[in-house]
C-alpha cells in the first residue's frame, strides 16, 4: 500500500498504477460507481455526477470544467494536472484524495467533508469558495489562494503551511488551523482587513 505525505498528512494512494487500469470511456449512469479507472480527456467536462462513488482511480489531465458533483464520495483517488475551473462540489466526501497541479479556480465547494486525509498540492484555487464545509483533515502545500473564500467552514486541524495567504477571504475561519511562522504577518494583515481594524501611531 503506497502512502503520500503532504506536510504531516498521510494519504493512501489507489492500489494500482494508472497503466494497470482501464480508461473510463463513457459517462456513468446516476448512482453507478467509478472504480479502478483512469479518467482523462474531456469526458467529464460539464458533466453531472450524482449519488455515486469514485474509488481507487486516477484522474490525469482530465477536464472537469463546469462539472457538478452532488452526493459523491471520492476515496483513494489522485487528480493530477486536471482542470476543474468553475466546477461545483455539493455534499461531497473526500477520503484519501490528492489534488496535484490542478486548476480549481472559481470552483465552489458546498458542504464538503474530509472524512479522511486530503491534500491540495501546487493547485490554483483563485476565487474558489468553500461554504459550510469540514476541512479538518486537509493539507494545502504550494497552492495559489488569492481570492479563496472560507465561509462557515471548520478548519480545525487543517494545515496551510507553505502557501501564500495573500488575498484569502474569511481568515477568521482559520481558527484551529496550522500555519507557518513565515505566514504570521500575512495572516495578521488579513485579520486586520477583515475586522476593519485601523492601525494608527501610538499616542505620545
Q: How confident is the model at residue 85 (pLDDT cuts 50, 70, 90)?
A: very high
Does the pLDDT at position 96 exceed 90?
yes
Task: Evaluate the CA torsion angle 18, 22, 26, 31 in order and state its sign.
Answer: negative
Condensed to tens digits (0 to 9), the pLDDT of residues 172-199 reads 889 999 999 999 999 998 888 888 888 8
Does the pLDDT at position 1 exceed 80?
no
Q: Summarize the chain as % helix, strand, coil (round to 5).
A: 10, 40, 50
How many whole angstroms separate alpha carbon 63 and alpha carbon 91? 21
How many whole angstroms separate alpha carbon 7 and alpha carbon 111? 24
Core vs surface per residue 42-63: b (16+ CB within 10 A) or e: eebeebebeebbbbbbbbbebb
Condensed to tens digits (0 to 9), the pLDDT of residues 114-156 reads 999 999 999 999 999 999 999 999 999 999 999 999 999 999 9
Burial class of 102 by CB neighbour count within 10 A (0 to 12, 13 to 18, 19+)? buried
Domains of the chain: 3-194 (2.160.20.80)
| Count of Cβ atoms closer than 10 Å to residue 171 Cβ | 20
Condensed to tens digits (0 to 9), the pLDDT of residues 13-61 reads 998 889 899 999 999 988 999 999 999 999 999 999 999 999 999 999 9
Beta strands 3-6 and 9-12, pairing class: antiparallel
How many whole angstroms separate alpha carbon 29 and alpha carbon 159? 36
Amino acid at each position: 500500500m503506497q502512502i503520500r505525505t503532504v506536510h504531516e498528512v498521510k494519504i493512501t494512494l489507489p492500489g494500482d498504477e494508472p497503466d494497470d487500469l482501464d480508461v473510463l470511456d463513457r459517462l456513468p449512469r446516476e448512482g453507478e460507481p467509478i472504480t479502478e479507472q483512469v479518467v482523462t480527456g474531456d469526458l467529464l467536462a460539464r458533466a453531472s455526477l450524482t449519488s455515486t462513488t469514485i474509488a481507487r482511480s486516477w484522474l490525469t489531465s482530465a477536464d472537469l470544467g463546469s462539472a457538478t458533483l452532488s452526493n459523491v464520495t471520492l476515496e483513494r483517488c489522485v487528480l493530477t494536472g486536471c482542470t476543474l475551473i468553475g466546477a461545483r462540489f455539493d455534499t461531497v466526501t473526500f477520503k484519501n484524495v490528492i489534488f496535484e497541479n490542478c486548476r480549481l479556480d472559481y470552483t465552489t465547494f458546498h458542504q464538503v467533508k474530509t472524512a479522511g486525509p486530503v491534500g491540495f498540492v501546487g493547485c490554483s484555487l483563485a476565487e474558489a469558495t468553500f461554504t459550510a464545509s469540514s476541512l479538518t483533515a486537509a493539507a494545502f502545500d504550494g497552492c495559489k489562494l488569492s481570492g479563496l473564500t472560507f465561509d462557515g467552514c471548520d478548519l480545525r486541524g487543517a494545515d496551510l503551511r507553505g502557501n501564500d495567504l495573500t488575498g484569502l477571504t474569511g481568515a477568521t475561519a482559520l481558527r484551529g488551523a496550522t500555519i507557518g511562522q513565515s505566514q504570521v504577518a500575512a495572516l495578521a494583515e488579513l485579520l486586520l482587513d477583515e475586522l476593519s481594524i485601523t492601525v494608527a501611531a501610538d499616542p505620545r
